[in-house]
C-alpha cells in the first residue's frame, strides 16, 4: 500500500475511538476494508468485536500470528487535528489507530502476495481494559487457527522514525489495577467526633503504600504503586463518609506482584481496624508480563540490523503493561517498539505520532515474515 493510503485509513480510525468490547464502528470499518481485498486465500472470523483473518499459505507448514489492538482511551483529545476524535471524551491516545492501520497494511500485502506459510491477523479488542487477550486466547475462532509464533508492535514516542526496539526476555511488566472503596460515617465538620472521616483514612492508606516498594520489595527487583485518583467528600464543611482510591501496580516479577498485593491487603485491613470502617479491594484487570522468546527476539534484532534500513535497538525493560503477554505466555513470540518521534507520550491528550512510521513498519514486518518463512 502507498503511504497516503495508510495515512487516510489511520485518520479515519482516529475519528472514532471506542471503549473495550464496544469497538463496533471500528470493527465494521475494518470488515469493510477487508471485504475489498482479494479473497482468493482469505478466511474471516469474528468474535465479539474482534476480527481474525487467516491468509492461507502456499505450503502452510506453520502459522504466523500478527496481533493488533483496537480500543481507545477515555481521554479528551487536545491535538488540534482536523481529523480529531468525534467521540467526545475518547481518544486513540495509545496509538491503536496506527497499530490497526499497520496490521491492515500487512494484510493487504499478503492478500496480494500469497505467503509461503499461513498468517493469522488478530484484531483484538479491549487491550486498555478490561482485557481482551485472555478471553480471545480461549475463544474457538482463535484456537481454530492457533498460531505457532506471534508478533506485535507498540508505538514508541521517544524513538525516532526508522527505529525499532526490543529485547530478549522481559519487555513489559506485570500489571494490576487497584480500586479500594472505604465506608465510614459522614457528618458535620464542626463535630468530627460524631463522624468517621474517610478522607483521613484514605490519606493514611496512600501514605502507608509508600513504604511497600521501599521495604517489602527486593531492592534488586522493581515495583511501582501509583494511586492516580482519590474521590471523597462533597463540600468543605462536610465530613466524608466514603472515599475511593484508584491506582495501578507494576512489577518486574510475579513474586513481587504477589508480595505487593499481600502487603496492600494487610494495610487495608489495618485501616479497617484503625478507623473502624469497611473496605473493599478490587484488583481490576491484571496483565501478565510481556516476555519475548529469547531466540526469536535476537533473530528479529539481527534481521533488522543486517537486512533492513531500519535501526535496531536492544532496549531495557519497561513498566508498561500490555495484555499481549497472555499470548506470549502460551505461544512463543516477540513484541517490539516502533519509533514514531512524538513530542508527547503515550496516554497524553496531545499524542502526535509521525505517520511515516506506518509504511516503514508494514514493509519491515512483511519482509521479516518472508525471511522467517524461508528460513524454516
Cell of 90: 475518547
For residues 325 and 169, give the distance between their C-alpha atoms in angstroms, rounded to a whole number.
12
In sequence order, the 6+-apart residues with CB closer than 8 A to the CB of 228 are 246, 247, 248
Burial class of residue 330 (count of CB atoms within 10 Å of its CB; 0-12, 13-18, 19+): exposed
What's the CA gap between 176 and 260, in Å, rounded? 10
Count of C-beta atoms within a 10 Å radius of residue 82: 6
Phi and psi dihedrals of 298, rounded to 5?
A: -65, -40
Over the range 40-57, which residues count as b (16 or more CB within 10 Å of their CB) and which as e?
A: eebeebebbbbbbbbbeb
Catalytic member of 18, 69, 71, 117: 69
Q: Is 128 a catalytic residue?
A: yes
- Residue 189 pairs in a beta bridge with none
Give the residue among 98, 103, 159 at the shortest CA–CA distance from 345. 159
Q: Name which of 4, 28, 2 is nearest 16 in CA terms.
A: 28
**295, burial (CB in 10 Å: exposed 0-12, middle 13-18, buried 19+):** exposed
DSSP strand pairing (149-156 vs 63-69):
parallel
Q: How many residues does the chain have?
A: 376
Q: Are 334 and 293 in contact (CB under 8 A)?
A: yes
Compute the distance between CA of residue 235 and CA of residue 242 in angstroms, rounded to an integer. Answer: 13
The residue annotated as part of the active site, out of 18, 77, 117, 128, is 128
Name which of 129, 152, 139 is nearest 67 in CA terms. 152
Task: Specify whether 69 is catalytic.
Answer: yes
* Rounded distance between C-alpha atoms, residue 96 and residue 118, angstroms: 24
Where do we find the cell 511515516? 356
Burial 213-244 (b: 16+ CB within 10 A, else e): beeebeeeebbbbebeebebbeeeeebbbbbb
Q: Which residues carry out catalysis?
A: 69, 128
Amino acid at each position: 500500500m502507498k503511504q497516503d493510503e495508510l495515512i487516510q485509513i489511520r485518520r479515519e480510525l482516529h475519528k472514532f475511538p471506542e471503549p473495550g468490547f464496544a469497538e463496533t464502528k471500528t470493527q465494521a470499518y475494518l470488515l469493510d476494508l477487508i471485504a475489498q481485498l482479494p479473497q482468493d486465500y482469505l478466511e474471516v472470523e469474528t468474535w465479539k468485536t474482534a476480527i481474525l483473518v487467516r491468509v492461507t499459505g502456499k505450503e502452510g507448514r506453520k502459522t504466523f500470528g500478527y496481533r493488533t489492538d483496537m480500543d481507545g482511551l477515555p481521554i479528551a483529545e487536545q491535538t488540534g487535528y482536523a481529523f480529531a476524535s468525534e467521540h467526545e471524551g475518547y481518544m486513540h491516545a495509545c496509538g491503536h489507530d496506527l497499530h490497526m492501520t499497520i496490521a491492515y497494511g500487512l494484510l493487504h500485502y499478503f492478500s496480494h502476495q500469497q505467503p509461503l506459510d499461513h498468517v493469522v491477523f488478530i484484531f483484538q479488542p479491549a487491550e486498555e481494559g478490561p482485557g481482551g487477550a485472555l478471553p480471545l486466547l480461549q475463544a474457538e475462532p482463535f484456537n481454530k487457527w492457533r498460531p505457532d509464533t506471534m508478533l506485535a508492535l507498540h508505538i514508541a514516542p521517544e524513538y525516532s522514525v526508522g527505529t525499532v526496539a526490543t529485547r530478549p526476555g522481559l519487555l513489559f511488566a506485570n500489571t494490576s489495577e487497584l480500586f479500594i472503596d472505604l465506608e465510614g460515617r459522614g457528618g458535620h465538620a464542626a463535630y468530627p467526633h460524631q463522624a468517621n472521616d474517610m478522607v483521613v483514612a484514605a490519606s493514611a492508606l496512600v501514605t502507608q503504600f509508600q513504604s511497600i516498594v521501599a521495604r517489602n520489595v527486593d531492592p534488586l527487583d522493581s515495583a511501582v504503586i501509583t494511586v492516580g485518583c482519590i474521590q471523597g467528600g462533597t463540600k468543605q464543611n462536610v465530613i466524608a463518609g466514603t472515599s475511593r482510591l484508584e491506582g495501578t501496580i507494576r512489577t518486574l516479577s510475579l513474586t513481587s506482584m504477589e508480595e505487593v498485593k499481600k502487603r496492600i491487603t494487610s494495610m487495608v485491613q489495618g485501616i479497617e481496624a484503625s478507623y473502624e470502617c469497611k473496605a473493599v479491594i478490587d484488583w481490576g484487570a491484571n496483565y501478565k508480563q510481556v516476555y519475548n522468546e529469547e531466540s526469536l527476539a535476537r533473530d528479529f534484532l539481527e534481521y533488522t540490523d543486517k537486512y533492513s534500513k531500519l535501526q535496531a535497538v536492544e532496549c531495557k525493560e519497561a513498566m508498561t503493561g500490555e495484555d499481549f503477554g497472555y499470548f506470549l505466555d502460551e505461544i512463543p513470540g516477540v513484541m517490539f517498539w516502533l519509533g514514531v518521534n512524538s513530542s508527547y507520550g503515550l496516554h497524553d491528550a496531545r499524542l502526535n505520532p509521525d505517520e511515516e512510521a506506518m509504511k516503514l513498519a508494514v514493509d519491515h514486518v512483511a519482509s521479516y515474515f518472508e525471511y522467517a518463512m524461508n528460513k524454516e
